[in-house]
Each structure stands twice: as structure tokens, then as C-alpha cells.
Amino acid sequence: MAEIKEILPDFPSGPLSNYRKQASFDWRNMAVVIDTEERLKFKHAIWKAMEEDPTFTHSVKDKDSSLDEIRNRTFEKALKVREIIPDTGFDFRTRAETSSVLGQYDWSVSLRYAILQSFFSNAIRGAGTKGHYKYVEAAEKQQIYGCVCMTEIGHGTNIRGLRTKATYVPSTQKFILNTPDFQAAKCWAGNLGKTANFAYVMAQLYTPDGVCHGLHGFVVPIRDSQLNTLPGVIIGDMGPKAGLNGLDNGFMMFNNYEIPKESLLNKNGDVTAEGTYVSPFKDPSKKFGASLGNLSGARVAITSLCSASLCNAVTIAIRYSAIRKQFGNPGSNEEMPIIEYQLQQWRLFPHLSAAYVLKYFSSVLFDNLMSFALSQFDSDMNQEVRAAWGMEIHAVSSSAKPLAGWLAQTAIQDVREACGGHGYLQCAGISRLRDDNDAFLTFEGENNVLMQQTSNWLINLWNDSKREVIIQKSKLGSLTFLLKAEQRLNNTFQPGTVEALLKPKVILGIYKWLVCYLLRLTAEKYQTLLAASDQDNFLAKNESQVFFARTLSLAYIEHFMLETFHNQLCQRPGLPEDIKNVLNKLFLLYGLWSLEKQHLGTLYEGGYFKGPKPSKLIRNAILGLCEDLKPEAVALVDSIAPTDFVLNSVLGASDGQVYKRLEQAMSQYPDSFAKSSNWSEFASRLKSKL
């Protein structure tokens, strides 16, 4: 514990001390429980190194800097990261925290580093063979700068529609890359705009007989060592964006650009020297799936990144709410901190509960992904079981990433409003977080489309005669709700009091009924549409999304997150009682808040709820939990907050000196007290003699 105290020292006494003293648990113990000691050491070592290195000093001028300056500074920081990451030996799991740790400081730095260090090399490793590993090694040593080019101007979500062409020419043993028109230009790739000299490019592979063999990855040099664009390649910068402006997203076109045959990443398909196409896959759809590689990895990672954004947001708002005072009891001279208001609690504490549930869940999901990746070396592992495991991770991550993105995004907006006008200042650190986090909702699988992967999988399972066997074999355990589904669907809501409602089993029971109900309903809707449309699968899928498949995916992942949090954390043997108590309240609040917010209608529609009592009990329980969590809230954010340097918010610093910091920030703004540079022009119009 002494060592942890060095990493997490006591907070200075000040305006937040009063609320800190009210907590029923030890905030350091909670930090260790939710994060583990290794991860705390790792991230604080990085944050400390950043704080001590002038490269990472926050600049008050960032807002007024040119795009070029912002990007240069971001890239310099991204390059520096390698030097400050502590050596964790073979502990890859701890190292995987790097993106979140950097992102809590600045998402542009985090993403630039991730693309340089792993996004590009993972793409090459996933699709390439031994001869391509030299690119992986060079990228990881930062001897080349990579980017990943899948999206085109005309096609993003529909990857199969990509139109960049790679035609093999036997006489030269080269591929020729061509971009048919601007709509087929590669776009959005991070690091492409100004920096990358190599690209992973997805293109349709054509053999000399004119046959298209579908999408394949290529490793392509795009700039020379002086970062000049190579002849045959046109690269442009996409310009300012809503956020992430430290990242240079670019667009790229090819004009009869020749690359060697070996540029083809040939794990899933190759061409002979003469131009015959060969592939280990007979079924083209399986090859397509394999060529997209292990997409779950990035989605699981983004789930963690969104949870990191959420932690920053709730830290700012809850600390500020404990300090900010408005109004007071009539007759009293004292004004009340706004955290005392029921409305403020209800606006913020559910987001705090979501931060805890999501943080823990994303970490479990990451561990599972790591175990899955390692299982490829386990020769005793049954391949069918492994394939089912991969499918389950895919389904879970396809709804976890959207839910995490939305949870963070709505929380950040609520936090902005909950901090009033000062929350709108750039130095509050909220708008930056909102604009940057926003992109997570779109890249690595657009949220709404991605969730269809989960619902498709669930519907197939519902109709599978071997459903029970599949559920028993499920490695993650996300399908337990389906056990005895038909029986479960006859259940109805039983609790008659708030006390009876506030039991984990009851909340999970409501969710289990809900997911079964939505699954049966969606599967039936889909079958009806299929029958009515002469087996038009495309139409049936599209027409069963709203109120059906989309809600199903959401309810499924909410239930699994809650169940994981409860079974694996709240019920963990040896957990101190004080910690367990608070975690239990967070579990209950997240569950009830999510049900109330989006599922009451379905619960009444399906007959699980009857009469006014269930919704009244739920709403009373939410308010009661908010009141219970008030004395815990400041300590709860202390346990998940980054350091003040990293949070970089005048409203959210741990010393609570909001007004001192506001004064400093406003006074230090360049030219804060100077006249406008155009003052003489304005002054020349002043005619009044008043």
C-alpha cells in the first residue's frame, strides 16, 4: 500500500475535502480494485514522464495555432511516447493500456501513436506472410511511418463496394494501382495527410484475364524518404475537422502506379508469376471475412478508449458540482453546492455508474480477447470451439463499441451542461473531449451498422436447433439469458417495494426477460418479412432494425455488461465490504437508469410490467440511489481520475481551486488584457460624445 500511496498521494486539503471525508470507502483501495496495481503503476509512470517532459507541456496557444503547427506538435509528442513507456517485459495486457493513458491527455496524440505503432503493423501482420514482417518491424521501430487506407470517398461502411483497382501484369511481375475517379479516392486515413510514407491499401485484385478476385491488402510506398509524394500517387490533406485536429487525415489517388508483386499481402490469396489466382479459401465469403482480419481487436480497444473519455468527463463535472454554489435554503445565508440538488445528481450520477461498469467491462473484454489471441497456439483447443469463441467476441464487441461510444458522448454533453457557462470554456476541457470522442462513433465500424452484426448473430442462434449446446459452450458467457428462454418469457415483475427491487438478481432478471422478448420478437418479425417478400433477406434485415434488432443489440450488451460487473467484480471473493457496497449501488443505478431511459415501453408492451407500480418503483429507486451516492461521488471520481496535468481542466482539478484556476486561465490567455489588434478601425467610428 505504501507504494500505491506514492502513486496516488493524498489530495491537498481544500474545497473538496468536505465531500471527500463523507465517503464510506477508501478511494485508493477502490482505485486498485477497479484498475489493478500494475496498471495504476504503468499509467502513472507515463503521466509523470509526460508532465516532466517539456514536449508535453500544454500550450495556451493551441487554440490559435495553425493546423500545421497543431499537427507538428502532436506528431512530435507521438514520436516521443516510445521513449517514456515503461518496460513491462512480456506483460502485453498492461502495455495495451497505452492508448487510453495517452488519450486521457490528448486523443490526437493517442491515435497518431496507435497508427504508427500498431494499427498499420497489425494490418500488415494480419494479412501478410513472412516476407512482409520487415514492414512490421520497421513500423514498430518507427523507421517507417504507416497509415491504413480502406475507406474511399464513395464507400465507407460498405467495404465490399471499394473500387481501387490492383491489376496484375505477368510481363513485369507488378501490380498496377488505379483510382477510377474521385469517388474511389482513399480517404480519412490518419497519418496520410502529411506524414505516412507507407500505406496498407485495400484494393480489388484483378488477374490478367480481367477477373476480379475481390478485396486484398497491399503494402504500398507512397512517399520518399524526404516525404515527397511518389510519382503516380496523389495525396491531399482533408483539412480541419470537428475534432482530432492533431491527426492528419488525408485522401489519396493512384494513377497507373506500379508496385512489386510482393506488395500483395498474400495470406488469404495470391497470384502466381504467370497470373493465376490461388487461395486457401474455396468459399469467397470466408476469404472476405478473413481478409478483413481481426476487426474485433480495434473495437474492443475503442470500448476501452470511450470508457477513458467517460472517466475524464465525470471527474470534471462531479468535482466542479461539489464546489460550485448556487442558491440556498430560504432563510440561510449559505449557498448550496449544486451537487446537493436532486436534479444535478440525477443528471450526473448515472454517468458515474456507467463509467465504473464500462471501465470494468472493457477491461474484462480485453483480457478475453488476449486469451482468444493466445489460444491459436494451443494445439489441444478444439477448432470449432475456438471459432465459436471468435464469433462471440465479434458479436459482443460489435455492440460494446457502439454502446461505449454513446455512453461517453451523452455523458460528455450532459457534463458540459451540468457545468453551466464555465463548462463551455475551452479551459474546462469538456468541448475538446466531446469533439474528439465523437469520431469513435463512426470509425472502426459505424455504430448503427455495426450493431447489426450482433443482432444477426443472435437471430441465427435463436433459430438454431442446437441452441442449448452453443450456450453451454459459450466462452464469454454472454448467452446465459437464453437458458430456459421460453420459461423465462412467462415471468412477470414481482417486487412490491423499492427494497425488493434493489436486488442484483431482480435487475438482471428484468434484463434477461427483456433480451429474450426482444430476440423472439425480432426473429419473428424477420421471418414474417422474409416470407412476405419472397425470401428477400436484404429487405427483411433492413425492415426489422428500428424498435427491433437495434434495441435487441443494445439490451443484450447492457445485460452482459451488468452481469459481468456483478458476477466478476461485485461478487469477487475477498472484496472489502465497504467497496462491495458502493460497487453494488453503482451496478443498481446503471441497470435501473438504462432500463428507465430506453426500455420501459417494451417492458409494458410485452406484459412484464403491469400498472403504474413498476415504473414508479424504478424511478423512486433511481432517486434513492442518487441520494445514497452523493457522499461517495467525489471519492468515486478520485479513484478513476487521471492526474491534474492530464485532465487539464480548470473545473476538474483535484485541489478544487476552481476560481483561482479560472482567474489564471483567463488572465494568461494571450492578449487577454490588450486592445484588439484592429482597435483603431473600431475606434474611428466612435462618434458619440456621451
Interacting stretch for ligand FAD, rule CB under 6 A, among 185-193, 284-292, 489-497, 504-512?
A: 185-193
Binding mask 219-258 for ligand FAD (x = CB under 6 A): -------------------------x----x---------
Give the C-alpha separation, 140 to 378, whole Å.
26
* Residue number, 218 or 372, with CB nearest to ligand FAD: 218
* Residue number, 190 or 652, with CB nearest to ligand FAD: 190
Applying CB under 6 A, among 14, 15, 156, 232 the residue interacting with ligand FAD is: 156
Minimum gap (Å) between residue 151 Cβ and ligand FAD: 3
* Residue number, 103 or 591, with CB nearest to ligand FAD: 103
- The conformation of residue 148, written as its DSSP 8-state character, comes to E
Determine contact, residues 478/560, Cβ cutoff 8 Å: yes
Minimum gap (Å) between residue 639 Cβ and ligand FAD: 31
* Residue number, 229 or 442, with CB nearest to ligand FAD: 442
DSSP H or E segment with residue 260: strand 257-260
- Give residue for cell 470554456: 425
Cross-strand partners of 325:
337
Applying CB under 6 A, among 281, 406, 443, 604 the residue interacting with ligand FAD is: 443
DSSP letters for 59-117: -TTGGGS-HHHHHHHHHHHHHHHHHHSPP-TT-HHHHTTHHHHHHTT-HHHHHHHHIII
Residue type, 234: I
* Residue number, 161 or 231, with CB nearest to ligand FAD: 161
Determine contact, residues 200/146, Cβ cutoff 8 Å: yes
Give the C-alpha separation, 34 to 18, whole Å.
24
* Residue number, 158 or 487, with CB nearest to ligand FAD: 158
335 in catalytic set: no
Site size toward ligand FAD, by CB under 6 A = 17
Applying CB under 6 A, among 149, 369, 555, 622 the residue interacting with ligand FAD is: 149
Applying CB under 6 A, among 126, 190, 217, 614 the residue interacting with ligand FAD is: 190
- Decide if residue 449 touches ligand FAD (CB under 6 A): yes
> Strand 233-237 vs strand 250-254: parallel, antiparallel, or unpaired?
antiparallel
CA distances to 156, 159, 193 from 181, rounded to whole Å, are 16, 17, 19
* Of 392, 444, 558, 632, catalytic: 444
Applying CB under 6 A, among 439, 554, 570, 618 the residue interacting with ligand FAD is: 439
Minimum gap (Å) between residue 115 Cβ and ligand FAD: 7
* Residue number, 254 or 565, with CB nearest to ligand FAD: 254
Cross-strand partners of 258:
176
Minimum gap (Å) between residue 213 Cβ and ligand FAD: 21
Applying CB under 6 A, among 72, 88, 229, 448 the residue interacting with ligand FAD is: 448
Give the C-alpha separation, 236 to 222, whole Å.
12
Binding mask 105-144 for ligand FAD (x = CB under 6 A): ----------------------------------------
Minimum gap (Å) between residue 275 Cβ and ligand FAD: 28
Applying CB under 6 A, among 55, 157, 272, 571 the residue interacting with ligand FAD is: 157
* Residue number, 8 or 244, with CB nearest to ligand FAD: 244
DSSP H or E segment with residue 45: helix 37-52
| CA triple 597-603-608, angle to 5 deg | 145
Q: Among candidates 534, 552, 546, 646, which has minimal Cα distance to 599?
A: 552
Minimum gap (Å) between residue 447 Cβ and ligand FAD: 7
Minimum gap (Å) between residue 215 Cβ and ligand FAD: 12
Give the C-alpha separation, 451 to 395, whole Å.
8
* Residue number, 199 or 395, with CB nearest to ligand FAD: 199
Applying CB under 6 A, among 123, 150, 318, 625 the residue interacting with ligand FAD is: 150
Phi, psi of 263, deg, nearest 5: -70, -20
Determine contact, residues 81/113, Cβ cutoff 8 Å: yes
> Strand 198-206 vs strand 165-169: parallel, antiparallel, or unpaired?
parallel
Minimum gap (Å) between residue 408 Cβ and ligand FAD: 15
Minimum gap (Å) between residue 444 Cβ and ligand FAD: 6
Binding mask 373-392 for ligand FAD (x = CB under 6 A): --------------------
Interacting stretch for ligand FAD, rule CB under 6 A, among 33-41, 444-452, 607-615, 655-663?
A: 444-452
Applying CB under 6 A, among 18, 207, 442, 615 the residue interacting with ligand FAD is: 442
Applying CB under 6 A, among 16, 189, 310, 355 the residue interacting with ligand FAD is: 189
Cross-strand partners of 253:
234
HSE of 578 in the Cβ direction (CA atoms, 13 Å)?
12
Interacting stretch for ligand FAD, rule CB under 6 A, among 149-157, 356-364, 415-423, 491-499?
A: 149-157
In the β-sheet with 186-189, what is the strand arrangement from edge to edge? Answer: 186-189, 250-254, 233-237
* Residue number, 113 or 372, with CB nearest to ligand FAD: 113
Interacting stretch for ligand FAD, rule CB under 6 A, among 150-158, 272-280, 576-584, 629-637?
A: 150-158
* Residue number, 190 or 642, with CB nearest to ligand FAD: 190
Give the C-alpha separation, 317 to 416, whole Å.
8
Give the C-alpha separation, 583 to 589, whole Å.
10
Q: Among candidates 655, 650, 646, which has minimal Cα distance to 47?
A: 646
Give the C-alpha separation, 46 to 102, whole Å.
8
CA distances to 1, 272, 275, 485, 499 from 168, rounded to whole Å, are 63, 10, 7, 53, 70
* Residue number, 156 or 420, with CB nearest to ligand FAD: 156
Interacting stretch for ligand FAD, rule CB under 6 A, among 261-269, 446-454, 617-625, 649-657?
A: 446-454
Minimum gap (Å) between residue 610 Cβ and ligand FAD: 35
Determine contact, residues 111/189, Cβ cutoff 8 Å: no
Which positions from 470 through 529 interact with ligand FAD, judged by CB under 6 A?
none
Give the C-alpha separation, 383 to 668, whole Å.
62
Dihedral over alpha carbons 314, 320, 322, 327 (to 10 degrees): -130
Applying CB under 6 A, among 101, 148, 302, 515 the residue interacting with ligand FAD is: 148
Give the C-alpha separation, 92 to 97, whole Å.
9
Applying CB under 6 A, among 151, 167, 397, 478 the residue interacting with ligand FAD is: 151
> Strand 174-178 vs strand 257-260: parallel, antiparallel, or unpaired?
antiparallel
Interacting stretch for ligand FAD, rule CB under 6 A, among 203-211, 299-307, 441-449, 659-667?
A: 441-449
Helix (H, G, I), strand (E, B) or coil at 537: helix
Take residue 491 and report the three cell numbers written for it.
415471468
The residue whose Cβ lies closest to ligand FAD is: 156
- Decide if residue 67 touches ligand FAD (CB under 6 A): no
| Active site positions, annotated | 444
Binding interface with ligand FAD (CB under 6 A): 148-151, 156-157, 188-190, 244, 249, 439, 442-443, 446, 448-449
